[in-house]
A and B are shown apart, each in its own frame.
Chain A
Amino acid sequence: MAAPRAELASTAALRDTMSAYYRGLGEAVEKKTAPVAWCTSVGPAELLRALGFVVHFPENHAAMLGAGRTANRYLPVAHAQGYSQDICSYLTSDIGAYLSGESPLSAFGLHGVPRADVLVFNTNQCRDVRDWFEWYGRQWNVPVIGINSPRSVGEVTEAEIGDVTRQLEALVPILERVAGTRLDSARLTTAMSAARDASALWERCLTTATHRPSPFTFFDGTIHMGPAVVLRGAPEAATYYGTLLAELEERTRTGVQAVPGESLRLYWDGMPVWGRLRALSTTFAEFRTAVVASTYCNSWIFSTLDPADPWRSMARSSVELFIARSDEPKERYIERMVKLYDVDGIVFHDCRTCPNNTNSRYGMPRRLSERLGIPTLMLDGDVNDLRCFSDEQAKTNIEGFVEQLADGRAAAGRAAR
């Protein structure tokens, strides 16, 4: 049997960073020291931080429900409210948990999700986030505002950037009213710099996986991306990624492998299956297969954020986001990643309730497979609804894919001899 996987020592610092964030959120709510904003995971967090909001990210909360495998307990509660089984299971598990009066945040001193003073969405990822926020907006009778982003963007144009820039600027008066303060441009610059610095470090962490054997996998990434999501625009994120990067670079120097005996390398497209992260990570590792990179973890790299040009650069990073693009730029992006990380194949997660972050439904796997000459695998599952995932079927699918890749390599070896 392969040697056990080496755990990352930074995980302790990650826990501390995330706990401090959740506790900070709880304290602000409890003592009313700061207004509370909800923000979508790729919404204008920097702007909210600059205005002094503490920021809650419901997608992070939903991912906690998924990873803790409690989501399936809450889904029926939201379905019963008329929120379909076919829509985002982040949304339905989160609302279901709220209606059940339960939350994993209680471990950090919060009484459920923090009550928002304002909910700020960006539909660059999907329409569901807006529906999700509007539910809470009605519940609490608080404003729900946001950016209605262009979707399926081909080449990014000035028209789109201008549109989103204006929408961002239009949020300011409402946010100022809720926050009870004026936006200070110096604070915005500080938040933008923090976001840019953390993003750059996160990108460097991820690209350590270009090293063979890789010190880091997609599954590690889904855990360690926490600060990139919830602390965007706050200085703690960059501090954490400095720590993680040092460890990963040390691993590449000393040859510590995330997957002992790494033989095959894969790219993952689509959402994680939160309730099966460990099982999937173990399955791949047993086959000495490292899932070294993913569209998902890469989505929190915002390299165009520019503190000197905050509005337009925020708009640009929102518009050019992978999930908001049409298939052509998406394919070019995946192609770049396939080459950069030198992978043997691509796994497409067909996420039942998230068509927005599923790229296997309009022929992309076949097109990429033909163009890049590498096989693709389609894995049926879901981000949070485990009823849409079959352990046995996934295992056979993955094992069958590994066999195919191993046979391909063996045949290539024979041909070369």
Chain B
Amino acid sequence: MRRYAGVDSGSWNTKAVVIDHDGLVLGTSVVRSGADLAVAAERAYAEALARAGCEAADISAVWSTGFGRDAVAFADGSRTELDCHGRGAAFHVKGPLVVIDIGGQDAKVIRLDANGHRLSHRMNRKCAAGTGSFLDEIALRLGIETAALDVLAAQSTEEFELSSFCTVFAGTELLTLIRAGRRPSDLAMAAYRSLMKRVIAMDVFDGRVVATGGVVAYHPTMVALLSEALHVEVTVPPHPQEMGAFGAALAARDGAVSVGPGGDDARSSRSLPLAGETP
């Protein structure tokens, strides 16, 4: 059996996934990235291999993705997270589709055609608004763990808006609202709504919608709000948090063109097809 792996080196977490040739997930892992991305990548990979019950020698190819993709020294190729989240989502849901990925530090919207080919992508500006960090900040102000925000929001009965989308402004606005007697559950819900609005303003959503990333993995409220606002059933595929790593494993399986500026041939930009060449 041929097996493939993907490692998603994110700024917050490093994720690894091992798949078989049909794309069946055999093992996954999520570890903190910390300061040394290379070490985190090795740890995540080793864990995923152990869970898949195999060794590095059993893996036909491993590709990297994510912010630290070039730090994954053992990777045979790399693709951006824009590619891998799209690739992973398109494996589960047929295009045309729009993929929303909300990570801890960034958010992306990726549009794919009927064949799963990328049409465009949008990334959020250099700012925490519209990313998972926004929820962390809100949870901090409410004095709870981020993971508890979802349960809290479920008790919300009154709908209102946070007027600021800036993470810092929203934090202070929240304090004012608490003093004014607003219920924490309504505030938690308002925070989700604010994040949702930032995300849906990033692009036009005109196909099926798939949501990936850590935020939707742990915050079903976010998915419900997105579905309501976009008037479609937003699909959350299996392993949403590891979707980038899963996509990288698919890229390894498919032998996608690696455009990364790596040192060896497989990763070098030389593998980018020349005008008129077919790879």
Contact = CB atoms under 8 A, between A and B. Distances in A.
Interface of A: 1-2, 212, 261-264, 283, 286-288, 369, 375-376, 378, 380, 388-390, 392-393, 396-397, 399-404, 406-411, 413-414, 416-417
Contacts of B260: 399
A193 to B, nearest CB: 40
B257 interface: yes
A369 B121 CA distance: 13
B268 interface: yes
Chain B interface size band reads 20 to 34
A396 B257 contact: no
A404 B110 CA distance: 11
Nearest to B256: A407
B80 A396 contact: yes
A212 B274 CA distance: 12
A286 B269 contact: yes
Interface stretch (B24-32, B122-130, B133-141): B122-130
A388 B122 contact: no
B181 interface: no
Interface of B: 67, 79-83, 106, 115, 117-123, 125-126, 256-257, 259-261, 263, 268-270, 272-275, 277-279
Given A263-B275, A396-B67, A413-B273, 19 more contacts: A262-B275, A286-B269, A288-B272, A375-B119, A378-B122, A380-B125, A380-B126, A392-B67, A393-B123, A396-B80, A400-B82, A400-B121, A403-B79, A404-B83, A404-B119, A406-B259, A407-B257, A411-B115, A416-B278
A400 B270 contact: no
Most chain B CB inside 10 Å of its own CB: which residue of A369, A407, A410: A407
Nearest to B70: A395
Contacts of A396: 67, 80-82, 123
Pairs A-B, 6 closest by C-beta atoms:
A413-B278, A400-B82, A286-B261, A400-B80, A390-B126, A404-B118
Most chain B CB inside 10 Å of its own CB: which residue of A283, A378, A400: A400
Contacts, number: 101
A417 B261 contact: no
B120 A403 contact: no
A2 B269 contact: yes
A389 B123 contact: no
Chain A at the B interface: SS class: helix
A287 B275 contact: no
20 contacts: A1-B261, A2-B268, A261-B269, A263-B273, A263-B274, A287-B272, A380-B123, A388-B126, A389-B126, A390-B126, A393-B123, A399-B260, A400-B81, A403-B79, A403-B82, A404-B119, A406-B257, A406-B273, A409-B275, A410-B278
Contacts of A376: 120
A396 B244 CA distance: 14
A317 B164 CA distance: 44
Given A286-B261, A380-B125, A390-B126, A407 B272 contact: no
Given A1-B263, A376-B120, A380-B125, A403 B257 contact: yes
Contacts of B83: 400, 403-404
A407 B119 CA distance: 11
B224 to A, nearest CB: 29
B120 A288 contact: no
A390 B121 CA distance: 17
Contacts of A393: 106, 123, 126
